[in-house]
């Protein structure tokens, strides 16, 4: 089953467009969990159990697990295994490197961890993305316009009549075959989101930034 089919099926089953992040910071866990053997996994399992009928995807963030060392990588794998198999897992890794390195990352996330999708960084261009696109039932979500303040530093630079992020959206549309690419676009920029949706009418969009970062749910939808 292609990623887009799996995503659509999960979305329809739960009538949901919500992706729940699993960026679990051990220093912010409820105290009663800290006495258990594996508090982060326990917390993640409770979140998954409480939300599995409300979401269309889960998104664990590698940084929070890598900060725990080798054990963290094991907890990340156990977390992904705890997610019901019909719900897509997007590993938020934002990787991007030359071909043979990207091939290793794709192997780590798709084969090693069993993820359905991964977030990737476009700065190094097509050959850095290509190894992720060689898995026909997976999806690479490419950073396009991010929700943070620093997006203004380089993503908005004007080039040939349009900002850099629009160049990226257009290239990714050309690179995507059978739904193997998506785009990451911050909810904090609804007008730009509208324009990116015009450029990429068929690509799945991962839209962070609702809530604390100030993005508006209605406007994003």
Interacting residues toward a copy of itself by CB under 8 A? 23, 25, 61, 63-64, 66-74, 77, 92, 94-102, 104-105, 107-108, 112, 121-129, 143, 146-155, 157-160, 164, 167-168, 171
Options 94, 138, 152, 160, the catalytic residue? 94
Q: CB–CB of 203/183 below 8 Å?
A: yes
Separation CA 50–CA 87 (nearest Å): 14
As to burial, measured by CB atoms within 10 angstroms (0-12 exposed, 13-18 middle, 19+ buried), residue 221 is exposed
Least distance CB 209 / a copy of itself (angstroms): 9
Least distance CB 8 / a copy of itself (angstroms): 27
Query: Long-range contacts of range 175-179, CB-CB < 8 Å, 24 or more positions apart?
Result: 175/126, 175/129, 175/133, 176/133, 176/203, 177/133, 178/2, 178/4, 178/136, 179/2, 179/3, 179/4, 179/5, 179/139, 179/203, 179/204
Looking at the Cβ atoms of 54 and 157, the one nearer to a copy of itself is 157
Looking at the Cβ atoms of 75 and 220, the one nearer to a copy of itself is 75
Looking at the Cβ atoms of 137 and 156, the one nearer to a copy of itself is 156
* Residue carrying structure tokens 């290509």: 130
Q: Does residue 94 carry a catalytic annotation?
A: yes
Looking at the Cβ atoms of 53 and 81, the one nearer to a copy of itself is 81
Least distance CB 13 / a copy of itself (angstroms): 30
Active-site residue numbers? 94
């Amino acid at each position: 089953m292609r990623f887009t089919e799996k995503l659509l099926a999960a979305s329809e089953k739960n009538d949901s467009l919500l992706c729940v992040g699993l960026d679990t910071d051990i220093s912010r866990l409820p105290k009663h969990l800290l006495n258990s053997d594996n508090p982060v996994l326990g917390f993640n399992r409770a979140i998954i159990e409480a939300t599995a009928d409300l979401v269309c995807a889960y998104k664990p963030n590698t940084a929070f697990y890598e900060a725990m060392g080798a054990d963290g990588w094991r907890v990340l794998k156990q977390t992904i295994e705890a997610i019901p198999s019909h719900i897509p897992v997007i590993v938020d890794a934002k990787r991007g490197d030359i071909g043979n390195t990207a091939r290793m990352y794709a192997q780590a996330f798709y084969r090693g961890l069993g993820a359905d999708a991964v977030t990737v960084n476009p700065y190094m261009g097509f050959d850095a993305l290509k190894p992720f696109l060689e898995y026909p039932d997976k999806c690479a979500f490419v950073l396009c316009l991010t929700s943070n303040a620093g997006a203004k530093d380089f993503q908005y630079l004007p080039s040939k009549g349009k900002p850099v992020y629009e160049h990226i959206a257009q290239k990714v549309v050309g690179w995507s075959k059978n739904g193997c690419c998506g785009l990451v676009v911050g909810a904090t920029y609804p007008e730009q989101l509208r324009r990116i949706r015009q450029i990429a009418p068929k690509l799945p969009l991962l839209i962070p930034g609702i809530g604390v970062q100030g993005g508006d749910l209605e406007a994003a939808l």
